[in-house]
Amino acid sequence: MKMPIYLDYAATTPVDERVAQAMLECLTREGNFGNPASRTHLYGWKAEEAVEDARNSLAELIQSDSREIVWTSGATEASNLAIKGALAYHTKSAPLHIITSEIEHKSVLDCCQFLQSLGHEVSYLKPPQDGVIRASQVEQALTDNTVLVSIMHVNNEIGTINDIAEIGNLCRDRGILFHVDAAQSVGKIPVNVSDLCVDLMSISAHKMYGPKGQGALYVRRHPDVNVVPQIHGGGHERGMRSGTLATHQIVGMGKAAGIAKLEQQADFEKYSQLRECFIAALNDLPDVFFNGSKSQSVPNIVNLSFAGVDGEALLTSLRELALSSGSACNSVSVESSYVLRAMGVADELAHSSLRISIGKPTTQEDMMIAAEKIMAAVTQLRQRSLKLSGSAPR
Ligand SMILES: *Cc1c(COP(=O)(O)O)cnc(C)c1O
């Protein structure tokens, strides 16, 4: 069977060939297979060296010190460590207050919900229509008990870039910890932890052509930020995250970071062009709504709603394309995207939305085929529903 055109790079990316090669060299008996924590022989020292090289590469990509990088199994674990670990560090037992947004990834939202179950208070900011979370909103939600603000850098569904530097400055002025889920920004746009004033930042390897199951948490050293470990045993990663380091995974993430440093600017320009061509190609299709911000977003994520078509039916007639819809199936029903609903997108339009996300292998031809297929499918579905409603007795 012919594989569909992959346009779901925001869900995950393939591992870059160069990354895969570097990873392969850390697995077998001939390779760098040692335990990085083994201090008594060359196998351990070599593995440790590879891990530290990777740490330096990632630190360089986000302009941090390598001692501020804590390896985790992904951005989900990084956010758990940041949010739950930061709250646990507070000895005050009075309910503490957290500010986050309604459009965060589930890994952040579920951590916040868990903390609510422990008696803490959480404010969920509702984005304006363009989906961009701004510092003024955060400022209005502050209370005397606010200890942590967690706002994502780039939204995974709509590609919007939130006002992170402004929010970071606000938090720094008030002495409030600032966590950022940067899974969709690191490796796509320049990220500088000093400019952004972040204290804690979650990163994922598999969103930037590295392996699944590897991530990192940036933990600021000046001023010193503390998190209580969520996984105990062995004291790895300066006690913040125990467990034998997965050398091949870490080397893969480091290699991916090094490649991103060199290529992200050119990739960004390519994606901008592809997005423009794609949107232009859909120009003749009426009643298409752009979800998000045209001026403040990454070019690799495009989210569109097609009025008058059912999202499920649309995906079914687009089998040659691999993309995400604005609906998520859970065990009982098809629910429209909570991100789109939070932005005030009507339920029907949220259901009829598609997320097209572009990646390194995407070509101009892929985008033209995608535009054609979408145009044909939407037109056909609209005609069909017209016929149905036309013949229905009223
Ligand atoms: C993918 C993603 C995550 C989860 O990352 P994992 O490494 O898969 O745990 C978190 N936040 C955002 C915004 C993401 O896109």
Residues with CB under 6 A from ligand 1: 74-76, 105, 107, 152, 156, 181, 183-184, 204, 206-207, 215
Looking at residue 332, its pLDDT comes to 61
Looking at residue 331, its pLDDT comes to 56
Among the listed residues 171, 197, 277, 329, the single catalytic one is 329
The answer to whether residue 393 scores a pLDDT higher than 70 is no
The contacts of residue 60 (CB under 8 Å, 6+ apart) are 257, 258, 261
Angle in degrees, 0-180, between the axes of helices 247-281 and 17-24, rounded to the nearest 10:
170
- CA distances to 155, 205, 339 from 310, rounded to whole Å, are 24, 34, 18
Find out whether 292 and 160 touch, Cβ atoms under 8 Å.
Answer: yes
As a whole number of angstroms, the distance between CA 24 and CA 14 comes to 15
**Beta pairing partners, 281:** none
Looking at residue 326, its pLDDT comes to 77
User: Which is the closest atom of ligand 1 to the Cα of 104?
Assistant: 13
User: Which is the closest atom of ligand 1 to the Cα of 78?
Assistant: 9
Find out whether 278 and 303 touch, Cβ atoms under 8 Å.
Answer: no
Every domain of the chain and the residues it spans? 5-10+264-384, 17-259
* Superfamily name and number for 5-10+264-384: Aspartate Aminotransferase, domain 1 (3.90.1150.10)
The contacts of residue 132 (CB under 8 Å, 6+ apart) are 160, 161, 162, 163, 293, 296
As a whole number of angstroms, the distance between CA 113 and CA 108 comes to 9
User: Which is the closest atom of ligand 1 to the Cα of 215?
Assistant: 7
Average pLDDT in the chain: 95
Burial of 50 (0-12, 13-18, 19+ CB in 10 A): buried
Same fold, 5-10+264-384 and 17-259: no
Closest residue to atom 2 of ligand 1, CA basis: 183
Ligand 1 geometric centre to CA of 107 (Å): 8
Ligand 1 geometric centre to CA of 46 (Å): 30
Which residue among 185, 203, 204, 338 has the greatest number of ligand 1 atoms within 8 angstroms of its CB, and so is best to mutate? 204
Which class would CATH give 17-259? Answer: alpha beta
Ligand 1 geometric centre to CA of 280 (Å): 30
Closest residue to atom 7 of ligand 1, CA basis: 74
User: Which is the closest atom of ligand 1 to the Cα of 206?
Assistant: 7
- Give me the amino acid identity at 159: G
Find out whether 116 and 122 touch, Cβ atoms under 8 Å.
Answer: yes
Please state the rounded mean pLDDT for residues 348-370: 96
Burial of 45 (0-12, 13-18, 19+ CB in 10 A): middle
**Beta pairing partners, 69:** 218
Looking at residue 269, its pLDDT comes to 98
User: Which is the closest atom of ligand 1 to the Cα of 152?
Assistant: 13
pLDDT, tens digit, 9 for 90 and up, residues 8-43: 999 999 999 999 999 999 999 999 999 999 999 999
Look up tokens 């609209």; give the residue.
Answer: 382
Give the β-pairing of 321-322 and 5-6: parallel
As a whole number of angstroms, the distance between CA 382 and CA 225 comes to 55
Q: Is residue 329 annotated as part of the catalytic site, yes or no? A: yes
Task: Calculate what percentage of the chain has a pLDDT beyond 70.
Answer: 97
The answer to whether residue 190 scores a pLDDT higher than 70 is yes
Looking at residue 330, its pLDDT comes to 57
**Going edge to edge, which strands form the sheet with 97-101?**
69-72, 215-219, 200-204, 177-181, 146-150, 97-101, 121-125
As a whole number of angstroms, the distance between CA 81 and CA 59 comes to 19
Task: Extract the tokens encoding 156.
Answer: 């995974």
Please state the rounded mean pLDDT for residues 331-358: 90
Task: Calculate what percentage of the chain has a pLDDT beyond 90.
Answer: 91
Closest residue to atom 9 of ligand 1, CA basis: 76
pLDDT, tens digit, 9 for 90 and up, residues 253-308: 999 999 999 999 999 999 999 999 999 999 999 999 999 999 999 999 999 999 99
- CA geometry: angle 93, 94, 99, nearest 5 deg: 110
Ligand 1 geometric centre to CA of 75 (Å): 5
As a whole number of angstroms, the distance between CA 203 and CA 76 comes to 9
Find out whether 131 and 160 touch, Cβ atoms under 8 Å.
Answer: yes
Question: Sorting pLDDT into bands at 50, 70 and 90, what band is 388?
Answer: confident
The contacts of residue 219 (CB under 8 Å, 6+ apart) are 68, 70, 82, 199, 200, 225, 227, 240
The contacts of residue 324 (CB under 8 Å, 6+ apart) are 8, 10, 11, 157, 354, 355, 357
Ligand 1 geometric centre to CA of 385 (Å): 37
Closest residue to atom 12 of ligand 1, CA basis: 183
Ligand 1 geometric centre to CA of 192 (Å): 19
Please state the rounded mean pLDDT for residues 205-229: 97
Closest residue to atom 3 of ligand 1, CA basis: 75
| DSSP 8-state symbol, 354 | E
As a whole number of angstroms, the distance between CA 30 and CA 39 comes to 20
**Higher pLDDT pick, 394 / 241:** 241
Which secondary-structure segment (H or E) carries 194?
A: none
As a whole number of angstroms, the distance between CA 247 and CA 46 comes to 10
Dihedral sign, CA of 182, 187, 193, 195? Answer: negative
Looking at residue 310, its pLDDT comes to 87
**Beta pairing partners, 121:** 97
The answer to whether residue 176 scores a pLDDT higher than 80 is yes
Looking at residue 394, its pLDDT comes to 41
Question: Sorting pLDDT into bands at 50, 70 and 90, what band is 153?
Answer: very high
Task: Extract the tokens encoding 361.
Answer: 């292998």
Please state the rounded mean pLDDT for residues 359-371: 98
